[in-house]
Amino acid sequence: MPLRPRWSHIGRSIASQNLSQSEAAKRMGLSQPDVSKLLKGQFRPFSIERLMRLLTTLGQDVKMEVVEPRSPRKKGKLTVEA
């Protein structure tokens, strides 16, 4: 699942609030180097749950929705939308 474009909302939120990396780190409870990693698209060290919490800390709403498939299949699919 390609996370990079979806989680880029973290960087956009930081920029739109004119936060420095240090200020964003303090708000999100991260170190400044961790914020730098996020802004460079390095999301692997962070769980999806943690990324969602970071988004809500920055004032973003996060929506998770479970839907019935259009056609029957053995395995469902996971889609992340922004």
pLDDT, tens digit (0-9, with 9 covering 90-100), for 4-59: 455 688 999 999 999 999 999 999 999 999 999 999 988 888 998 999 999 999 99
Domain count, the chain: 1
| DSSP codes of every residue in the chain | ---HHHHTHHHHHHHHTT--HHHHHHHHT--HHHHHHHHTT--TTS-HHHHHHHHHHTT----------SS--SS-------
Q: What CATH code is carried by the domain that includes residue 45?
A: 1.10.260.40
pTM here? 0.76
Q: What is the pLDDT of residues 46-58, one digit of tens each?
A: 998 999 999 999 9
Identify the domain containing residue 39 by its residue range: 1-82
